[in-house]
Structure formats: structure tokens, C-alpha cells
Amino acid sequence: MSTVVRIAGSAGQGVQTLGDILARSVFRSGLYLHGEMSYHSRIRGGENTFTLRIGESPVLATEAQADLLVALNEEMLVVHRPAVREGGVVFTDEEVGEPGHGAVRLPAGRLARDELKLPIAAGVILLGAAARFLGLTPEVVRAEIRAAFGEKAEPNVRAVDLGYAHGPAGTPRLPAPRFAPGDRMLLTGGQAVGAGAIAAGCRFVASYPMTPGTAVFEFIAQHAAQHGIVVEQAEDEIAAINMALGASYAGARALVTTSGGGFALMVEGLSLARMIETPVVIHLGQRPGPATGLPTRTGQENLLFALHAGHGEFPRYIVAPTDPADAFYLTMKAFEVAEKYQVPAFVLTDQFLVDSYAVVSALSPTRVPVEEHLVPVEELDRLGRYERFAVTRSGISPRALPGVSEKLVLVDSDEHDPYGRITEDLGVRRAMVEKRLRKADGMREEISPPEIYPAGSLRGKRVLLGWGSTYGAIREATERLGEGYAHVHLRELWPLRTEELRRVWGEAEEVILVEETATGQLGRLVGGETGLRPHRFVPRYDGRPFTAEDILGALR
Amino acid sequence: MAELNGEKYLADVEIAWCPGCGNFAIRKSLARALAQVDLPPHKVVLVTGIGQAAKIAHYVNLNGFNGLHGRTIAAAAGVKLARPDLTVIAESGDGDLYGEGGNHLVHNIRRNVDLTVIAHDNRVYGLTKGQASPTAPRGYRTRAQPAGSPSAPLNPLALAVAVGAPFVAQAFSGEIERTADLIAQGIRHKGFALVNVLHPCPSWNRVQTFAWYRERLVHLEERGHDPTDRAAAFAVAIGSGEEIPIGVVYRTERPTFADGHPVLAGDPVGLRPLPSPEDVRPILEGFL
Ligand SMILES: Cc1ncc(C[n+]2csc(CCOP(=O)(O)OP(=O)(O)O)c2C)c(N)n1
Ligand code: SF4
């Protein structure tokens, strides 16, 4: 069971800030939550909502219905009231014209103007009232207000207190604390990708702003000076990836972060990464396309694009995290795989994951080992001639940096011999193609198998198959469907491990793909590799994330 | 003598340039410039793009990053930002640097990364067989522009001075010593240095030949040009159309990208050790 609070306002009314404060207050109270920010692509006006789902156990999906709506203006009241459940409550300002029956009307605007001389604080007053109704202690909320507003906190602290004083007490809705302070973390997927990159030793980030990739770019920029990372806003995405490759060649673990349109511009650079066997991590935050699409909405339309982008044939590594914890660990792993195999690695997220808060088990920076994959300088000194692209069984050649020894390092976008010199020798060409492709064998071994829930045989079951951030919604739907249903989820998508998938198809009664696309890209990917096709497909492609209700509705 | 000629910088490999091409002389000038500044080969990275000129990465004994057409300066900036301890030279054709790569030229002048950019300006696309490059004169006829190029040529010197490049020079490939000297000055100059090297392409460009250039060259030093005077630099860059200026067009001091940068002031990021788990704990604690 969960309690859903929705704060709805126009851009500029502080919905994100109010949502952050409420989410942090709930987290501080020892409760699980999921916080989803949804917004129109506008800086002023439009419609912003923050949906907070509070639960007794981890929550990883959002919900359309709400128990408590805080409507910051009349328009939001009209738009969002229909989604309030029977017995739910609406908090709004007394100046809002037609609140309908059952609404709690507070003199928020008047108090903010007259008592606080800070009209914008009306939202904070409503927040205070909602917090009281939920049963949060004022101390917790005040502390979060202070953390959020810094020097400007005091009028806002008073606003919260006014909300507590004027709002009604609810029947306590929130469960008792579920975890102790220090046991869990609250973060967004975007923060998690950034933290994972830093933990993996990322030293160079170049990016051109594009939602939702920007969240990661900005997070790392905030920590760059402290952690010795060069962060540069490139003139375009083409520059971003070529700068990243130059930096990576020279020894800096490198990241680019973008979305579909930006990645489209990076594609030639992706091929270069592969030809010069220089690692780079690409954070590709998906949003609906084609072209500029729905700039602030979510989707999973770039799986096949990430997989097929680039001219020529070469292996790559693709992960799609399910939640912020997964995003942290898989980003670290993406850096490690990229460095070890000298390949491009993709962290494929989406707007929903990047912008949503979730409570996860405290992250451990030691779970994914971070290792050096360069030839030690002493070894280089002992070598006669250094061959950057020596042909090996594993396909991995010894990688050295320029300027650390007297050995010269030569890389070339043309086909080249082991030393790096241009060649058109057909035998060398064949050997190089084969060497590069051999890396996929090693990478496939490193990939974790799909998660199967509940564990055990799938015989006679209907399997809901998904990947990436739809995890929470699918899991919730599977649990509610109960007996006869299972959930199979892929987080590391390429190189594809086909044997487990064959098992799924072999045992299950039916495989139902659940994906935020119109065409079922994972189905096409698996089909291409194994000939197996999902029996049914539950799509969503309107730019909003899946809820468990959506999936149940499609299956009923 | 071998020392001064910089022979150690030259690779003993087969060279795929056309006989009589100006590229050979530019290669010699580069080696002499490196001998002048006396850098060990392994401390230099030559970043090139794609084209005939770009092949130079294979004809020298230096670290080399022979990347994509047009992306030379972007990749070179990445190398330099990761490794300020290395001397980074970006070298390619006029198509590469001014056509496909124009955006990176403009923005890296703005950034003022400490790079030396050597442009082989033959006014044509050599490798793709003679189409007009951005510096080709209006009316220049090729198989791709049979009625003559309808666009005015780009003026790289004026562009670089306008955007604020702190070192802008022009050389002629036929003058090996002088070209070497200008490249060496560019390398020594802290910040973004552009050396535009005019060079005849005997295979495709039948208009701007050696003789054509020789008739028009003027040496700025002999003219008493003051390269620190920006207005004079513009006048020289824009020129009369009759004369072709050779020498340092503009020279100034400007803060570089690295000056005062919170990260670039420390050890090169490309050489920093991997973080320990302890290093990231403060970030993770922020999520508690
Ligand atoms: C993205 C891309 N577009 C086009 C080409 C084809 N191409 C190779 S070299 C070249 C032009 C080279 O001209 P320039 O840079 O002036 O060098 P030059 O050959 O004259 O020395 C072109 C268009 C390419 N390799 N990559
Ligand atoms: S095409 Fe022209 S510039 Fe290129 S190598 Fe031949 S002569 Fe030189």
C-alpha cells in the first residue's frame, strides 16, 4: 500500500522545490518513497507536478491516482482533481474560485502576503498543511526547509509553521518508520549516474546541454573541482565526443552525456571510438522522438538506436539501469568494461529515471572494483617496439598513454596495422576486424543474467518482460497479478546473453513485452538474435512512465 | 645539422603525397620547428583530421591521433585538457579545419586552449580530388563547381583575429625556414596559435601555383608590421587582395583556458590515479 501526494502548479511556482522538501522530509522520517517530477517544456506557465508515493517497502514506480492533491492554482485544481481517489483530500488556496466540495481551503495567499510579505511562500504554507495532515513532524520539515533555502529560510520556516497552524490534522496516514537513518539513501537516477561516474574515476566530461542528459552533466560539474574532473560544455555534441576521445586517448576516463538528438550527432565519433579502441562512456538519457520529440517526457525508444548506431561493425556494451542504485553500480561497471575492453559503453537511461527520486539501500563504492587497465610504464620500457593494436586472442591490445615513456602511441581512424599505421593490406584488415569482434566474447561473460521473479521455474507462467526503468511498474503489476505471473528484467542488454532468454521462452506459457515504445524494440532485438518473439506487447508511448495500473489494465 | 633539421622527428616510411606537393616542405618545416623548441618526440601529440595533409601523422615520429574529418581541433583540445604536460599540435587541410571543422575552430579560439594549429591551405580538397575548399576564390572552377565557386572565400586570418586568437600567422610552404620559425613561435606561444600555411597543390590547383604565390608574397617583418596592434593586424589580414602577407599577423596575451581553472592547475587529469572508495564517500553521504 502506498500513499500518493501530488503537488501541482505552474512553472515558476516552485513545484520542484516543494516536492524536494516534502520528499526529503518523508525520507528523514524513515519511510520509503518515490518522487516523480513531470513537467511541460516551459520555464513559466505550463503544468508541473511532483508525485510522491510513500510506501512501507521500496517504491520504484509512479501512480496516476492520488490521495492528497496540493493544487497551487485553480487550473491545476481543475486538471488534477479527477485523479484524486475516493476519500482523498485536496488542499488549495481559499482564493481559488470553485474548489468543489471536500476541498480544504487555506488562507495561504493572504497569509503569505500579509504576514510574511512573501507571496511566493503561499506554496510553502500549503506544504506545511499537507505535512501536518500526513503526520510529519514540523521539526523534520523545518530542517529540510533550512537545507533548501539557506539564508532565505526563515520566512519559509514561518510559512511552514503557518501551514501547520491553519491546516487540519489527518487521521495518521503514514506507517511507522521502516529504516534507521544512515541505512538508506535518497537520490535521483541522474545523481546516481553522476556519482557512479565519479566513483569509477571519470576525469573528463564534455557535453552539450540536452534534457535529460543535462542533469548528469550539471551534477558532475558541481563536484568537478573537488574530484579533479575537467568538465566542459562543448560547442556541439560532435565536439563533445571528439574531445572526450582525445582526453581518453591521453589517459582521462571520459564521459559524454546527452539524449537522442545529441547522440545522433555523436555517431561518427562513436565509430571513431571503436576504430581507435579508445574507451568512452555515453550516458544516453532517452526521451521520446523522433527529432526533438517531447523534450521533457520519457520513453525507451533508443535501444535499437544505441545498439545499431555507427558505421562499420564492432562490439559495444549497453546497460539500462532500473533505479538509482542500479544506475550507480551500472555506471561504474560501464566505465570498467569500457576501459578493460577499450570499447564504447552506453548507460541507457530515460527522463523518468534521471529525474525521479527513490530510496535505495546505502550505496557502496566498493561493490564494483575500479581497476587500472593500462600497460605499466616499466613494462613499456622493456618492450622493443610498442604496438598499440597488437593482435591478441582476447581482442584486447595493450593500451598505453602518450608521453609516459619514450614509446610513441599512434591511433588512426583509418584501418591500421598493429602499430597504428594506415594500411590497405587485406590480411591485416581481416585480422583487425576479427580481433575487434572477439572482444564481445569476453564482454558477454561479464554480463549478469536477466533477473527472474519469483525465482525458480517459469513453467506455466505468463512472463512480463522488460528492461530499464519500467522495472518498478512491472514488478508491482506482477505482484498484484500474483500466481501464474513472473517478471523477467534485463539490465545489461548487450552483448546479449541468449541462453537464459531461450530458457524463458522455453518454459513460459506466454512472454509479454512491456516497453515504452510503439514497436517493441526489445522484442525485435531478442528476435534478431534468437528468432524468439514476444507473444504479446504492452506499449506506452505518450511520454508518460508506466504505472502498475497501466499494465494491469492492459492485461485484464 | 641532422639535429637542426629535426630528422629524428621524421618517420622513414613511404609517403603517399603527389610528387612536387607543398606538403613535403611543411613536413620538413614541422620537424625543424620541433628541433628549434627542442621537444622530445614522445612529449608531442600530433592530432590530425582526414585529407592529404592529415596523413602527416604517419610520416613523423610523434605520438599521433589521426581522427575524423573536421574534428581535429576538438580532439586536440581534449588531449590538451587531459594532458597539459604534452605539447599538442593540430594539423590538417583547409577543408578539414575551416570547412567541416569551422565550428571547432571558432570555439577553441574562444576557449583559448594552448594548441598550435597548422592549416595546410591549398584552397582545394585534395584527397577527394579537387573540389573547392572554403578558401577557394569566388569563381574557382572545379568538377564539382563547373560554373565556378559561387561563394566568397573564407579569410582565416581575419576570422582568427576577429574571434580573438592570440597568435595568428601565415606562412608559405616554399619557404621552409621561415615556416619552421613561425610554427616554432606558435608552439612557444601560450594559448591558441593558428599558422595558416599556403601551399600549392600541383595536382588540382592550377591557379595558385608556386609562381603565382611567389609574385604576391610580402614579408610582414620587412614591412615593419607591428603584430601587437590589432587594427594593423586586421588591415593586414583583410589586405589589398593583391599581396599575400607572410609572417606573424597578430600576437597578444590572453588568459588561456587553463589559467585559473580549478582543475587544470593541478596534475594532468589524464595522469591522476584512480579514486579510492574513500574519495567518493562524501558524495554518497550527501544522499543519506
Ligand atoms: C565526415 C566526412 N566527410 C567527408 C569525408 C571525405 N573527405 C576526406 S578528405 C576531404 C577533404 C580534404 O580536404 P582538405 O582538408 O583541404 O585536405 P587536403 O586533402 O586538401 O590536404 C573530404 C571531404 C570524410 N572523410 N569524412
Ligand atoms: S592532392 Fe595536392 S595537396 Fe594533396 S598531396 Fe597531391 S598535390 Fe599535395
- The cell for B207 is 591557379
In Å, what is the CA distance from A397 to each residue of A37, A340, A388? 45, 10, 6
CB contact under 8 A, B42 and A199: no
Burial class (CB in 10 A: 0-12, 13-18, 19+), A104: buried
| Residue A183 alpha carbon to ligand 1 centre in Å | 57
Chain A stretch 378-397, residues whose beta carbon is closer than 8 A to a beta carbon of chain B: none
Looking at residue A1, its pLDDT comes to 66
Contact between A6 and A51 under an 8 Å Cβ cutoff? The reply is yes
Provide the percentage of residues in chain A whose pLDDT is more than 90: 92
Q: Is the residue at A146 inside a domain?
A: yes
Record: contact A199-B277, CB cut-off 8 A: yes
- Matching residue, cell 637542426: B4
For chains A and B, what is the number of CB pairs under 8 angstroms? 205
Q: How far is the CA of B151 from the centre of ligand 1 (A)?
A: 19
Calculate how far, in angstroms, residue B214's C-alpha sits from the geometric centre of ligand 1: 27
Q: Is B229 exposed, middle or buried (0-12, 13-18, 19+ CB in 10 A)?
A: middle
Question: The CATH number of the domain where A195 resides is what?
Answer: 3.40.50.970
Closest to B194 in 3D by CA, of B113, B86, B100: B113
Containing A134, the helix (H) or strand (E) segment is helix A122-134
Interface of B with A in 145-164 (CB under 8 A): none
At residue A99, the pLDDT reads 65
Q: Does B75 touch chain A (CB under 8 A)?
A: yes
Give the Cα separation of A195 and A218 in Å (integer).
Answer: 12
Query: In the prediction, which pLDDT does A383 show?
Result: 87
Question: Of A336, A367, A398, which residue constitutes the final position of a domain?
Answer: A367
Residues A384 and A476 in one domain: no
Within 478-537 of A, beta carbons closer than 8 Å to B belong to: none
**Which residues of chain B lie closer than 8 angstroms to A228, CB-CB?**
263, 266-267, 269, 272
| 3-class DSSP state of A509 | coil
Task: Kindly list the residues from chain B whose CB atom is less than 8 angstroms away from the CB atom of residue A408.
Answer: 41-42, 61-64
Residues A342, A213: one domain?
Answer: yes
| A443 belongs to a structural domain | no
Find the CB nearest B75 among A243, A405, A410. A243
What was the pLDDT predicted at A141? 97
Domain of A156? Answer: 2-166
For residue B49, the chain A residues in CB contact (below 8 A) are none
Q: What is the pLDDT of residue A101?
A: 67
Q: Give percent of chain A above pLDDT 70.
A: 99
| Residue of A203, A249, A422 with shortest CB distance to B272 | A203
Q: Residue A219's closest chain B neighbor by CA?
A: B283
Please report the ipTM that was assigned to this predicted complex.
Answer: 0.97
Is the CB of B12 inside 8 Å of chain A's CB atoms?
Answer: no
Q: What is the CATH number of the domain that holds A126?
A: 3.40.920.10
Asked if the C-beta of A331 comes within 8 angstroms of chain B's C-beta atoms, the answer is no
Omega within 30 of 0 (cis) for the link into A495: yes
What is d(CA A378, CA A322) in angstroms, rounded to the nearest whole number? 42
- A99 and A135, same structural domain? yes
DSSP letters along chain B, please? -HHHHTGGGB--S---SPTT-THHHHHHHHHHHHHHHT--GGGEEEEE-SSTGGGGGGSBSSEEEE--TT-HHHHHHHHHHH-TTSEEEEEEEHIIIIIITHHHHHHHHHHT-S-EEEEEE-SEETTTTSEE-TTSPTT---SSSTT---SPPP-HHHHHHHHT-SEEEEEETT-HHHHHHHHHHHHHSSS-EEEEEE---TTT-SSS-HHHHHHHEEEHHHHT--TT-HHHHHHHHH--SS-EEEEEEEE-----TTTT-TTTTSS-GGGPPPPPHHHHHHHHHTT-
Is residue A39 assigned to a domain?
yes
Question: A260 and A345: one domain?
Answer: yes
The set of residues, in sequence order, having a beta carbon less than 8 Å from that of A218 and lying 6+ positions away, is: none
Query: Which of A446, A449, A451 shows the shortest CA–CA distance to A464?
Result: A451
Same domain, A255 and A310: yes
pLDDT level of residue A264 (50, 70, 90 thresholds): very high
pLDDT at A42: 75
Computed on alpha carbons and rounded to an integer, the radius of gyration of chain B in Å comes to 20
The predicted pLDDT at position B241 comes to: 79
Span A379-400, average pLDDT: 95
pLDDT of A107 above 60: yes
Residue B216 phi, psi (nearest 5): -110, -15
DSSP lists the bridge partners of residue A535 as none
Mean pLDDT to the nearest integer, B208-219? 94
Same domain, A156 and A303: no
CA–centroid distance, B19 to ligand 2, in Å, is: 8
Residues A193 and A313 in one domain: yes
Among A187, A225, A372, select the one facing B287 at the smallest CB separation: A187
Q: What is the pLDDT of residue A346?
A: 98
Any idea what the CATH number is for the domain that residue A487 is in? 3.40.50.920
Contact B288 A268 (CB under 8 A): no
Average pLDDT, chain A: 95
Residue of A413, A414, A415 to mutate when probing chain B, most B C-beta within 10 A = A413
Q: Which of B72, B73, B117, B125 to mutate to test the pocket of ligand 1 (most atoms within 8 A of CB)?
A: B125
Grouping H, G, I as helix, E, B as strand and the rest as coil, residue A486 is strand
Asked if B287 lies within 8 A of A191 by C-beta distance, the reply is: yes
In angstroms, the separation between the Cα of residue A367 and the nearest Cα of chain B is 10
Confidence check: pLDDT of A138 > 60: yes
- Kindly give the number of the ligand 2 atom that is closest to the alpha carbon of B203: 7
The number of angstroms, rounded, from the C-alpha of B32 to the middle of its chain's C-alpha atoms is 16
Cβ contacts (< 8 Å) between A248 and chain B: which residues? 78, 82
> Same domain for A116 and A203?
no
Record: contact B103-A404, CB cut-off 8 A: no
Of the residues B17, B50, B135, B196, which should be mutated to test ligand 1's pocket, given the most ligand atoms within 8 Å of the CB? B50
A372 is a domain residue? no
Residue with CA at minimum distance from ligand 2 atom 5: B17
- Identity of residue B206: R
Residues A159 and A232 in one domain: no
Residues of B in contact with A239 (CB under 8 A): 71, 74, 77, 103-104, 107
Q: How far is the CA of B100 from the centre of ligand 1 (A)?
A: 8
CB-based contact, B41 to chain A, within 8 Å: yes
Asked if A204 and A351 sit in the same domain, the reply is: yes
A39-46: Cβ within 8 A, 24+ apart: A39/A11, A39/A15, A39/A296, A40/A11, A40/A296, A41/A211, A41/A294, A41/A295, A41/A296, A42/A11, A43/A11, A43/A12, A44/A10, A44/A11, A44/A12, A45/A10, A45/A11, A45/A12, A46/A10, A46/A11
Whether B66 sits inside 8 A of A230 (CB atoms) is no
Say if the Cβ atoms of A232 and B81 lie within 8 Å: yes
What residues does A50 pair with on adjacent strands? A7, A37
Total structural domains in chain A?
A: 4
Question: Which CATH code for domain B7-286?
Answer: 3.40.50.970
What are A476-492's pLDDT values in tens digits?
A: 999 999 999 999 999 99
Residues A234 and A243 sit within 8 Å (Cβ to Cβ): yes
Same domain for A293 and A253, yes or no, is yes
> Which tens digits make up the pLDDT trace of B25-63?
999 999 999 999 999 999 999 999 999 999 999 999 999
For the sheet with B193-198, list strands across it.
A410-412, B63-66, B44-48, B87-93, B116-121, B193-198, B167-172, B244-251, B217-219
Q: Which of A75-89, A340-354, B36-50, B166-180 has the lowest mean pLDDT?
A: A75-89
- Asked if B220 contacts B232 with a C-beta cutoff of 8 angstroms, the reply is no
- Contact at CB, B58 and A410, closer than 8 angstroms: yes
The reply to whether A462 and A510 lie within a common domain is yes
- Tell me chain A's radius of gyration from C-alpha atoms: 26
Residue of B nearest to A194 (CA): B283
Determine the distance separating the centroid of ligand 1 and the alpha carbon of B131, expressed in angstroms. Answer: 10
- For residue A381, the surrounding DSSP H or E stretch is helix A377-382
pLDDT at residue A175, as a whole number: 86
Asked if residue A478 lies in contact with residue A456, where contact means CB atoms within 8 angstroms, the answer is no
Q: Above pLDDT 90, what percent of chain B?
A: 96
Cell numbers linked to A471: 522495472
Pairwise CB contact (< 8 Å): B81 & A230: yes
DSSP H helices in A383-470: 426-446
Average pLDDT in the B260-284 region? 96
Whether the per-residue pLDDT at B1 is higher than 60: the answer is no
pLDDT in tens, A325-374: 999 999 999 999 999 999 999 999 999 999 999 999 999 999 999 999 99
Q: How far is the CA of B125 from the centre of ligand 1 (A)?
A: 6
